[in-house]
Structure 1
Amino acid sequence: MFQESIRVAVCGDEFVGKSSLITSLIKETIFESQSNNVLPPITISRNDYNESFKEQSFAKTTKSEYSKDISEYIPNTTTIVDTDPSDHALLTQELKRADVIWLVYSDHYTYERISLHWMPIFRSLGLNLPIILCANKSDLSTKNLWKYQNNDEFIPLINEFKEIEAGVRCSAKNNYNVVEAFYLCQRAVTHPISPIFDAKEGNLKPGAIAALRRVFFLFDTDLDGYLNFVEFNELHKKCFGFMLEIEDFDEIIKYINLKLLDQNSSGISEDGFILLNKLYAESGRHETIWGILRANHYTNSLSLNDKFLSPHLDLNPNASVELSPTGYRFLVDLFIKFDKDNDGGLNEEELKNLFRPTPGIPKLWIETNFPSSILCNEEGYVTLQGWLAQWNLTTFLSYKTTLEYLAYLGFDESNSIKALKVTKPRKTRQKQGKIYRNSVNDRNIFNCFIIGAPKAGKSSLLDSFLHGTYSDMYSPTIQPRLVIKDIEIRGGKQCYLILEELGELEPAILENKKRLDECDVICYTYDSSDPESFQYLVDLRKKNLHLDEIPSVFVALKADLDKQQQRSDVQPENYTRDLFLNSPLHISSSWNSSLHELFIQLVDAAKNPSTSTPGLEIEKSVDEENLKHLFMAGGAIGVMALVSIWMLNSMRRR
């Protein structure tokens, strides 16, 4: 993650050369001061990090051939703060503001003070900052003024204190490794080693391994467990911006095969990929690891970036969200890729493998009883038709879940928003004192509430919609139940219809404005063979007068049984006529043609609410009125002509 600014606190005992190091860094000249004057804070801008500065940089010597130039991650500003060890209050203040500590020592005494004095101070303040050790005045070591003359001196301290990320020998006098020490301070913030590598154990940390395994899985496009040259180059190009030569790839293969004792591998296995990244960490080239992780949207905490998982989508409250053609294409390709046995269905193992780069099957899917909510084949495997229907249901109910999982699953065309489309806002109008919804033309998903008395046949209706079959055994619905399926409407267009049975939560849902706003049409059902069934709907609608604003279709279920006179205040046909609605459609779960007609009517009502809003009389159009008047005039003229002819004939006979 790019950091706009970094604050470096330079700490250490008196006379170790803190100010000299800062001056040498800035002026690139030798600065020797016998005084203990503390320099004011110095800010280096990104532009100040010029070519000559980079030319000396430690990045030049440690940059992997597989990593981008470190300058890409240089912050806009870096502030270096000199500190006075005798001013404890100011020192504490600066340490708490810092992003990284540049800890300087220069001899055996000040070296010992690192573990005995400075590290206890940092820990007592509760700091969790990376620390870069700097052995200054290394030009004096040749005069044997102190015994440490190689980098082994850093190892005990690095092993003892996890905060210490690296150590470097410097000389402010000779301007030796000063830029490198400064670079290490920047790198400790921009490319921290602590989240990805355990120096004590000598291994990548579990979080880093999990992230790298996910990256491997996403780029193993043929799912054979190996990254071949093409797949590895795709990863390499995305992460580092250029392609590898085949010779470089072969060298990597040789190294991994040697380490893993696998002489037959022609690609990089998952374990080999982890081993390769461990090598980068051990050799101090963790920019390469971060290059891989950040190109795949990981943050310093090894979680996926929130903006990547949940990009902002401008959405009108009255609009809905659906899959775009790009989203459909990605999901179809995903299905085909993981249907390894090509049987047209995703079995449990294939589904588990598909969701490997995610936290698991979405919680929303479990709540909607997946896969019972969609069409499966005879073996119970998820078909492509059902797979797309489930994603349409997810997008309709919670587009944020779809965005999140598209990101997890590898949709990365700069922004997962491309996988979605936002429909036009649904507007309302007023006519005849009634509020009704305007027609919609750009939507393909419609939600229908199924309402009716117990045992009216609602569950059988859902089963027949999804599978074409139903069970005669009655089982009361407790929790709301959803099913979704694509249907072909008039004109040959495909759309998705969601049928929702509300169960025991029906009273609460019908009083919930947000839930009612999600409903496009209500299907009022009653058992035509049960004389007590219709009164339930009459009572429910009296109690919930606001339901008149939602398009409605009345359905008489179990029409294959003997029809009974309803013991109700008003008979169904009269009730619907008074509401200016079509008479109840008589259907049976065993009559497929009537079922399909019902589903088409539900979609028609959702698309054209004015034709099915209770209490809203459909006004005849001007053309219809003119045509009616024309027919009446034509009829009158015809009658007059016949009368005239009759009178003329009568006169002739005389």
Structure 2
Amino acid sequence: MATKPTPEKAVRIVVAGDRGTGKSSLIITAAAENFPTNVPPVLPPTRLPEDMFPDRVPVMVIDTSSSLENRGKLAEELKKADAVVLTYACDQPSTLDRLSTFWLPELRRLEVNVPVIVAGCKLDLRDEQQAVSLEQVMSPIMQEFREIETCIECSAYKHIQIPEVFYYSQKAVLHPTAPLFDQERQTLKPRCVRALKRIFILCDHDRDGALSDAELNDFQVKCFNAPLQPSEIVGVKRVVQDKLPEGVNEHGLTLAGFLFLHALFIEKGRLETTWTVLRKFGYNNEIRLISDHLLPEIKRTPDQSVELTSEAVDFLRGVFTTFDVDGDDALNEQELEDVFSTAPESPWSEAPYANAAETNALGGLSFDGFMSQWALMTLLNPVLSVEYLVYIGYVGDPSSAVRVTRKRRVDRKKQHSDRNVFQCFVFGPKESGKSSLLDSFVGRPFSEVYTPTTEERYTVNMVDQPDGTKKTLILREIPEDAIEKLLANKEALGACDMAVFVHDSSKEASWIRATELLVQVASHGETNGYEVPCLIVAAKDDLEPYPNAIEALTGVSQDMGIQAPIPISTKLGDFNNVFKRIVAAAEHPHLSIPETEAGKTRKQYHRLVNRSLMVVSVGAAVAIVGLAAYRVYATRKNSSS
């Protein structure tokens, strides 16, 4: 789909249709204001002047050929279009039929998702005795093809409605109907309602749920650079009150009335009014805030993460309290929907956020769960996180909402991490208990039914600390089949604060595979400079261990210089403080980094090289001192003689 035009960029309109339907005559007459006597088969790109249209945005019109040999070029031009004008000839009914049998299906096949304007050319040649209204002709086609924005009849020869064809085309691009209005239901679309609700709240300075006359006037000046006269304000409110009594109350225009007015503007074809309002408040054609109002892309190294600042946390604490209407210290489904009712949609309805945090028995999200979700979104997509903070009312500088942590290699040198959010990668063979570990972390009951994990998934929760504070822990499950792809990226472990290797303690094969994965991950870290602390988790401790399991487990952990495996049983609810131990290891990242045999060999080699260099350095120093002493001795000998 073509990039949406800006005032500096011309709207690109492609004119297509059957041969002989008047495409070139339409374009020349619009540009030169004269009907052409000699028309070339295909015109070069034609720029219409800015002052031809109210928005003063230039229009570039592209003529096309419908011949089979030029079909590739036609498809190329259509895919670059901001809008498409499809022509038919009013005196040739077969060309009208071709719109629904060929041209409109062809646009869909090519995935050209832009507004379509249907232009009936050669109006002057139509047989008036067989004339039917444009509405009768086009209504069935427009019902089937909702991408048609406008239909218009014109005549280049008689100069009838030629500029209007391109005015409506430009308007469809600059002020599109589709994002705002559902033609079938005749209602504002949800994303439009949410944006207008946010704008209403921003303009309701006294927070009384209505726009007073003064607030309405401020809104008018901000959006349209002109105040409303008192009589105009009275008139606006009267129109609303006549059609929607709850649209006005003793304080002024309510949200219902504000939304009603915009629906009315759109129904009357005044889409530019609503678009002007949306754009004044920073929205683009997808009804999302443009980057100028948001956080710029954050520059950071792979081993740096992003967290919310205390300022953002305090703001979200206030949001939680405000929307916890029933005061049960949890946000139920409706309350959470209300939190995001001024955003394009809820950001947590799909993976990786759906079902990532702990909920209570009624499905409510506690404050810890609420903040855990924000921490996860900020870590994975800080720009999106800040965008949603702004949607729900954060008015500070967007950059004040997040902080970039220091590099993990610095944490290792300082032997401590100052992060509040840790991401733990969970590795292990199939059926080892990885998913049960993640589920137990967010309070889900143990299930006997094995369901293989095919995609990465996350759970997130707060972990209490000995000093009374909380840290956020994010568990990221890596399916066994996805490990090779993950480690193909040299920087894959940059985002990993902690790696946990889960195995079924009743199966020797599971332990062997988990050990192989541990060595693989440790080697990757050693090779690429992203060493990570590691822990081994011996899951299914309620089952009989395989012979010599304890000796094997202890031996490997001792050889690699990490803690002894942590036995747990999610079935029995015995977790052996595993989550606190994961956080403790992540906080002191220098203590639990495993060493492979290859890593030890490399270290020994580096020590030998360093010792050799030291011997060379000492030898060189002795030689230099000796040379200096010889020179002194020689000088004295010469002077005495």
State the TM-score, normalized to the length of structure 2: 0.58
Deviation at residue 184 of structure 1 after TM alignment: 3.9
Long gaps (5+) in structure 2: 108-115, 143-147, 523-530, 540-544, 604-641
Pair 1:583–1:318, CA change in 2 (3 A): closer
Aligned position for 2:624: none
Per the alignment, in what secondary structure is the counterpart of residue 364 of structure 1? coil
| The one of 319, 323, 328 aligned to 2:308 | 323
Aligned position for 2:60: 78
Pair 1:329–1:20, CA change in 2 (3 A): same
Pair 1:352–1:540, CA change in 2 (3 A): same
Contact 2:87 2:119 (8 Å CA) reproduced: yes
Aligned position for 1:23: 32
User: Which letter maps to 1:286?
Assistant: L
User: Which letter maps to 2:323?
Assistant: F
Q: Does 1:382 align with 2:365?
A: yes
Deviation at residue 126 of structure 1 after TM alignment: 0.4
Aligned position for 1:279: 264
User: Which letter maps to 2:589?
Assistant: P
Pair 1:584–1:205, CA change in 2 (3 A): closer
Aligned position for 1:362: 349
Post-superposition CA distance 1:67-105 (Å, at most 9, x none): xxx23xx14x53486x999x999999889767454979x
Post-superposition CA distance 1:295-354 (Å, at most 9, x none): 677776x67589899985555443333334565455444323422234432123312333
* Alpha-carbon distance between aligned partners in 2 of 1:508 and 1:440, rounded to the nearest angstrom: 31
Aligned position for 2:117: 130
User: Which letter maps to 1:320?
Assistant: S
Aligned position for 1:65: none
- What are the residue-to-residue correspondences of 1:369-408 with 2, within 5 Å? 369-372=356-359, 381-396=364-379, 402=385
Long gaps (5+) in structure 1: 25-30, 60-69, 105-109, 138-145, 430-435, 558-563, 619-654
Contact 1:489 1:600 (8 Å CA) reproduced: no
Contact 1:526 1:534 (8 Å CA) reproduced: no
Aligned position for 1:335: 320
| The one of 251, 263, 273 aligned to 2:235 | 251
Aligned position for 1:497: 473
* Alpha-carbon distance between aligned partners in 2 of 1:38 and 1:449, rounded to the nearest angstrom: 67
Contact 1:534 1:568 (8 Å CA) reproduced: yes
* Alpha-carbon distance between aligned partners in 1 of 2:255 and 2:72, rounded to the nearest angstrom: 46
Contact 1:535 1:569 (8 Å CA) reproduced: no
* Alpha-carbon distance between aligned partners in 2 of 1:350 and 1:147, rounded to the nearest angstrom: 61
User: Which letter maps to 1:443?
Assistant: R
Deviation at residue 215 of structure 1 after TM alignment: 2.3
* Alpha-carbon distance between aligned partners in 1 of 2:60 and 2:436, rounded to the nearest angstrom: 68
Post-superposition CA distance 1:614-636 (Å, at most 9, x none): 45999xxxxxxxxxxxxxxxxxx
Pair 1:134–1:264, CA change in 2 (3 A): same
Aligned position for 1:447: 423
Pair 1:158–1:464, CA change in 2 (3 A): closer
Deviation at residue 398 of structure 1 after TM alignment: 5.8
| The one of 244, 247, 251 aligned to 1:260 | 244
Paired residues in the alignment total: 535
Pair 1:520–1:91, CA change in 2 (3 A): closer
Deviation at residue 485 of structure 1 after TM alignment: 0.3
Aligned position for 1:637: none
Per the alignment, in what secondary structure is the counterpart of residue 497 of structure 1? strand
Contact 1:100 1:188 (8 Å CA) reproduced: no
* Alpha-carbon distance between aligned partners in 1 of 2:339 and 2:231, rounded to the nearest angstrom: 33
Pair 1:134–1:437, CA change in 2 (3 A): farther
Q: Does 1:345 align with 2:330?
A: yes
Q: Does 1:551 align with 2:528?
A: no
User: Which letter maps to 2:175?
Assistant: H
* Alpha-carbon distance between aligned partners in 1 of 2:440 and 2:135, rounded to the nearest angstrom: 72
Per the alignment, in what secondary structure is the counterpart of residue 336 of structure 2? helix
* Alpha-carbon distance between aligned partners in 2 of 1:415 and 1:217, rounded to the nearest angstrom: 22
User: Which letter maps to 1:383?
Assistant: S
* Alpha-carbon distance between aligned partners in 2 of 1:367 and 1:571, rounded to the nearest angstrom: 39
| The one of 462, 473, 484 aligned to 1:485 | 462
- What are the residue-to-residue correspondences of 1:132-531 with 2, within 5 Å? 159=139, 162=142, 163=148, 165=150, 183-193=167-177, 208-219=188-199, 221=201, 228-229=211-212, 248-262=232-246, 265-266=249-250, 267-268=252-253, 272-292=257-277, 314=299, 316-324=301-309, 327-328=312-313, 331-356=316-341, 357-358=344-345, 361-364=348-351, 368-372=355-359, 381-396=364-379, 402=385, 409-410=391-392, 419-427=401-409, 441=417, 443-448=419-424, 482-488=459-465, 495-498=471-474, 513=487, 519-522=496-499
* Alpha-carbon distance between aligned partners in 1 of 2:25 and 2:372, rounded to the nearest angstrom: 69
* Alpha-carbon distance between aligned partners in 2 of 1:339 and 1:353, rounded to the nearest angstrom: 10
Q: Percent identity?
A: 24
Post-superposition CA distance 1:122-162 (Å, at most 9, x none): 5565056314578999xxxxxxxx999xxx97665665764
Larger Rg: 1
Contact 1:465 1:595 (8 Å CA) reproduced: no
User: Which letter maps to 1:36?
Assistant: T
* Alpha-carbon distance between aligned partners in 1 of 2:501 and 2:70, rounded to the nearest angstrom: 74
Aligned position for 2:635: none
Contact 1:260 1:272 (8 Å CA) reproduced: yes
Q: Which moved more, 1:205-214 or 1:4-13?
A: 4-13
User: Which letter maps to 1:187?
Assistant: K
User: Which letter maps to 1:290?
Assistant: W
Pair 1:587–1:126, CA change in 2 (3 A): closer
* Alpha-carbon distance between aligned partners in 2 of 1:23 and 1:524, rounded to the nearest angstrom: 74
* Alpha-carbon distance between aligned partners in 2 of 1:331 and 1:255, rounded to the nearest angstrom: 39
Per the alignment, in what secondary structure is the counterpart of residue 288 of structure 1? helix
Deviation at residue 391 of structure 1 after TM alignment: 1.9
Pair 1:399–1:484, CA change in 2 (3 A): same
Per the alignment, in what secondary structure is the counterpart of residue 189 of structure 2? helix
Contact 1:38 1:84 (8 Å CA) reproduced: no
User: Which letter maps to 1:354?
Assistant: V
| The one of 86, 89, 93 aligned to 1:116 | 93
Per the alignment, in what secondary structure is the counterpart of residue 351 of structure 2? helix
Contact 2:320 2:367 (8 Å CA) reproduced: yes
Q: Tell me the C-alpha RMSD between the 2 structures.
A: 6.6
Deviation at residue 387 of structure 1 after TM alignment: 0.8
Contact 1:437 1:609 (8 Å CA) reproduced: no
Pair 1:277–1:342, CA change in 2 (3 A): same
Contact 2:240 2:248 (8 Å CA) reproduced: no
* Alpha-carbon distance between aligned partners in 2 of 1:263 and 1:539, rounded to the nearest angstrom: 66
Pair 1:305–1:208, CA change in 2 (3 A): farther
State the TM-score, normalized to the length of structure 1: 0.58
Post-superposition CA distance 1:11-69 (Å, at most 9, x none): 96699998565433xxxxxx6x7x72338657447xx53xxx46xx6x4xxxxxxxxxx
Contact 1:132 1:185 (8 Å CA) reproduced: no
Pair 1:103–1:275, CA change in 2 (3 A): farther
Post-superposition CA distance 1:449-495 (Å, at most 9, x none): 689999x999999999878xx99x997986788442054476x8753
Pair 1:304–1:133, CA change in 2 (3 A): farther
Q: Which moved more, 1:248-257 or 1:477-486?
A: 477-486
Contact 1:355 1:361 (8 Å CA) reproduced: no
